[in-house]
Chain A
Amino acid sequence: MSRAGSTRVHLYGWLLLAPAAILLIAFTHYPTGATLVHSVFSEGTALRPSTFVGLENYGFMMGDEVFWRVVGNNFWFAVGTIPASIALALLMAVWVNGRLPARGLVRMAYFTPTILPMIAVANIWLFFYSPDIGLIDQVLRLFGASGHNWLGDPDTVLGCIIIMTIWKESGFFMIFYLAALQSLPPELEEAAKLEGAKRWYIFRRITFPLLMPTTLFVLINATINSFKLVDHLFILTKGGPDNASSLLLYYIYEVAFSFFEEAYAATLTAVLLAVLAVISIGQFAILDKRIHYR
């Protein structure tokens, strides 16, 4: 190939890459870099320009009680939502993949929470959870329990938010499992049945391993979501009472837009990015080896 021809091929390639690359650089990579830079500068006001302070913001963060509280909350939120929503999604997918009457309707019903905006969902659940007048208390009342202040009690508020999130998320993950289930070749299951394998055995040794690529994908999504879903907090609790339901990203929002401390918000964002990067790399590195891709 001639020199000019090779240049043209390169140019062609770069041109094809350009739209995606420009968008990614402008809206992902540049902001990430800018965040890291901001996090080592002090907060500037009109009267006090910002200066380089090294790791001072990170030092402040280590001593920030609220930060540790939201990190702890976020950990329990992740532990509470990820396995439960994945398990529920798988269960629902297997259920609606089988033969049952009004299958389309059931599938749609399971998927409905996903298409509702989080803010709307939170507004609905706000009234479910509200003491005395809420749905949950009214149902419990039938069984003789007295009203409980679900969102106003630091012991129950995080649990309430976890349950709502599972309800919202699992329908979405179900769709991925359903698609994967339908792409599995039926011969494998038929062959296993001929060998006399039980249903649970088939699921455990054949279906579930074949679904692993989907599980990895869903797992990563669920993990990321457990750090980035905070819309409902604006409606339900505003992180309260006394930060009992605040999550890392919500705290970042508060610091940035309620306290107007951009530098500290950048510091917290850098930590969030680092955590997510470590988790995703870990998941890919460890689980990828154990997954069978066809």
Chain B
Amino acid sequence: MFDCLKRTLGASLLAGALALGFASGAWAKVELTMYYPVAVGGPLTKIVDGLVADFMKENPDIDVKAIYSGNYNDARIKALAALKSGKPAQLSVMFSIDIYELIEQDAIVAFDDIVETPEEKAWLKKFYPALMENGITGGKTWGIPFQRSTIVMYYNKDAFRDAGLDPEKPPATWGELAEMGKKLVKKDAANRVERWGVMIPSTGYPYWMFGALAMQNDQVLMNSAGNETFFDAPGTVGALEFWLDLGKTHKIMPQGTIEWGTLRQNFLEQKTAIMWHSTGNLTVVKKKAGFDFGVAMLPASKRRGTPTGGGNFYIFKQTTPEERKAAMKLIRFLTQPERTAEWSMKTGYLATRPDAYETPALMDYVSKFPPAAVARDQLKYATAELSTYQTGRVRKLLDDAIQAALTGAKSPNEALSAAQKQADRLLKRYR
């Protein structure tokens, strides 16, 4: 014990002396601090630590401290607090929708201002355009996609067989969803529901699920400048009416709100035949499902659609040119096709660029486990996640409106009109 203490003390003294001695030296190491969040279960911290260790082996002149910092909200709070305290991180993974907040705080630099070589400029174009939507505003790229997801439909093939449906034909339209849902509902002798048709979570991130429904009704929720929302557009109202009707009219979903955190358990215990959830759950569902399950794209009303989700890399403004260069090196390393493919296989998150799906490892994985490709195939229908100036407040307005409608406190039209009015008031000064 004492020995150990002495050794640590000695080491830190030595490190201190070294730092003093060499801080100004030409061969000082570049030190990077990076915060990153984890939003779904699983050993993600270990995977990130492994990737960072690989990077440092290849780049001995760069020292990276990757710090796990809770969920997306915590990561943003920590990064902004570090910024205010004068000891900022150089780069971080944060929610892709934090972009306007970070720009307003004057906290980040655009990648366009950092890239130098033609090769680096080309690198900016290597990612899926749908994943870049949340990272681009005002013609500049501020965020590089890293842990990104979409919503997909998980369905229980055994339940489909049980209900006399073709397990290889999941619902492709809203009409089919309602119709098949009715067949999938199973009741016991006392007319109590034993298995629901479908569950769409409405706590935690209701606006995210709703973004999918609205997109399917051919309506986006906001403009790309982030200063206008379309909450009371007919397409948006229609989407909320459909969501409400799943429980109220079709009786294939429990009424009231559905908990995000326990939904996966509901699906695994076969209390619902279909659930809509993040692709980030794929690996866990694969490990734990005691039945035959499938993954499909979300159904369409006027078209298919889903918002993207997840975290992007940002580089902070308070950095030296050397640090920016090192940060770029790290981000480019972590987004190489092979690494992205590895990340995707271990987590279920998307591989963020098309050439990652052409690596032998991921091609092999997809051929053995086709659900892994659903999120990628769905990307061509994807749109940005709700993100505006004053994003926390605007998001909450929509969340509250959705929950008010689903619990029957207000009609969809009423709830969304009120939310739109308040969002207009908040966003007026950004136009």
Which residues on A are within 8 Å of B, measured CB to CB? 45-47, 66, 126-127, 130-133, 141, 144, 146-147, 149, 151-154, 235, 237-238, 240-244, 254, 257-261
Contacts and interface: CB of A to CB of B under 8 A. Distances in A.
Interface in B50-76: 73
17 contacts: A45-B105, A46-B104, A47-B104, A47-B106, A126-B259, A130-B262, A133-B262, A133-B271, A141-B192, A146-B192, A149-B256, A235-B261, A242-B400, A258-B73, A258-B396, A259-B393, A260-B101
Contact of A257 (B77, B203, B406): B77
Nearest to B404: A242
Contacts of A126: 259, 261-262
Q: Which 6 A-B pairs have the closest CB atoms?
A: A152-B256, A46-B106, A241-B403, A152-B257, A146-B192, A259-B392
B265 interface: yes
Contact of B257 (A45, A144, A240, A261): A240
Contacts of B192: 141, 146-147
A127 B265 CA distance: 10
Interface in B3-51: none
B12 to A, nearest CB: 27
Contacts of A146: 190-193
Contacts, number: 101
Contact of A237 (B203, B266, B390): B203
Contact of B396 (A46, A132, A244, A254): A254
A152 B259 contact: yes
A256 to B, nearest CB: 9
A130 B104 contact: no
Contact of B203 (A131, A152, A259): A152
Contacts of B259: 126, 130, 151-152
B392 A46 contact: no
Contacts of B359: none
B289 interface: no
A141 B203 CA distance: 25
Nearest to B402: A242
State the main secondary structure of chain A at its contact with B: loop
Contacts of A238: 203-204
A132 B407 contact: no
Given A66-B400, A146-B193, 13 more contacts: A130-B266, A131-B266, A132-B254, A133-B269, A146-B190, A146-B191, A149-B254, A152-B203, A153-B256, A153-B407, A154-B407, A243-B400, A259-B392
A47 to B, nearest CB: 7
A226 B400 CA distance: 24
B284 interface: no
Contacts of B193: 132, 146-147
A132 B265 CA distance: 11
B317 to A, nearest CB: 10
Interface centre among A47, A66, A131, by most chain B C-beta atoms within 10 angstroms, is A131
B393 to A, nearest CB: 5
Interface in B196-228: 196, 202-204
Nearest to B394: A259
Contacts of A242: 400-401, 403-404, 407, 409
Given A132-B271, A149-B256, A241 B407 contact: yes
Given A130-B266, A257-B77, A240 B399 contact: yes
B407 A144 contact: no
